């Protein structure tokens, strides 16, 4: 166990904050911990009735290119993860779903971030667009089996953890 002695706030933005904590380790050593504070987030693996995964293609500045991934976003203040998942799915793909099932809730970067993500599987999709952020997103469909095979072979167009985890868990649990 480590005990925090002090905190220095380095940066505070809309979607993250960075702090440096001075801590005493269990062995009595004084050290620092850099912590990225993030809100709770959700992502959704949407499967249509034909067995296709609905994916979003968008430019991600941090990696300097377009990515293909499952819809995701921040849980707003006072919103449940399920409500956020439904909203993000509608905003990013134009679909709602009659069925949502939680696949996993986990911390993607436990060594330095407070982020907590919940991944949902959405089935029985219904076209129900909702205006969202001014994101430039294009929707693409790839058959689940084809996408799963590409992930397992290591030649998938997906290279983000949330999308890969969702595909692997859906297959492992017999959901797709």
Residue 135 known to be catalytic: yes
Task: For 25-161, list the strands marked E by DSSP.
Answer: 30-37, 41-46, 52-60, 65-69, 72-74, 95-106, 117-127, 138-143
Cβ atoms within 10 Å of 142's Cβ, excluding its own: 17
For 84-95, give one letter per residue: b (16+ CB within 10 A) or e. Answer: bbbbbbbbbbbb
Pairing between strand 117-127 and 41-46? parallel
**How far, in Å, CA of 143 to CA of 151, rounded?**
12
Identify the active-site residue in 34, 66, 102, 135: 135
Where is 6: in which H helix or E strand? strand 3-12
Cβ atoms within 10 Å of 148's Cβ, excluding its own: 18
Catalytic residue numbers read 135
């Amino acid at each position: 166990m480590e005990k925090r002695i002090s905190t220095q706030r380095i940066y505070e933005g809309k979607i993250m904050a960075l702090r440096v904590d001075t801590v005493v380790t269990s062995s009595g050593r004084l050290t620092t911990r850099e912590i990225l504070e993030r809100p709770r987030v959700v992502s959704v693996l949407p499967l249509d009735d034909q067995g296709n995964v609905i994916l979003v293609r968008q430019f991600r500045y941090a990696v300097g290119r377009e990515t293909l991934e499952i819809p995701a976003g921040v849980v707003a203040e006072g919103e449940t993860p399920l409500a956020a998942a439904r909203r993000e799915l509608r905003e990013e793909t134009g679909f709602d779903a009659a069925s949502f099932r939680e696949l996993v809730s986990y911390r993607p970067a436990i060594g330095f971030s407070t982020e907590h993500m919940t991944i949902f599987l959405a089935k029985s999709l219904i076209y129900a667009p909702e205006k969202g952020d001014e994101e430039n997103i294009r929707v693409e469909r790839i058959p689940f089996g084809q996408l799963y095979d590409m992930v397992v072979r290591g030649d998938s167009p997906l290279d983000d953890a949330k999308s890969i985890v969702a595909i692997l868990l859906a297959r492992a649990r017999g959901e797709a």
